[in-house]
Structure 1
Amino acid sequence: MDLTREPLMFPAGRPARLQNLARGDEGWLLGLAYSTQRGYAESHPSPARSAWAKSA
């Protein structure tokens, strides 16, 4: 079972449920990392903001 190639069908087996939970955790951690970095905007600006500041 590969959730990236096949949709999740219910009732799902244990491997499919674990794979789905792992993928959800990955997205949550990425969101947490992004929001943490954005909290330090003055010292860690986004690349778009850096390009804007250099052109001004």
Structure 2
Amino acid sequence: MLGSAFKVSERRGQAERAEDHDVIATVHPSSVLRAPDRDEAYQGFLADLRVVRAHLG
């Protein structure tokens, strides 16, 4: 959707325009379980979801 140059690690949690709709990229939830610092990864994932909630109003 966002092209091969899009890097989730750099742009996650930011609203992007893709075709005729908004997209907010985040990590796959299972990546939190594999992260070296699960708490940090989980907090980052929650922050992404808060952006989605705010964007939806």
Question: Shorter-chain TM-score category?
Answer: 0.3 to 0.5
Q: Which has the higher contact order (CA 8 A, sep 6+)?
A: 2
Provide the TM-score with structure 2 as the length reference. Answer: 0.37
Computing the radius of gyration over CA atoms, which structure comes out larger, 1 or 2?
Answer: 1
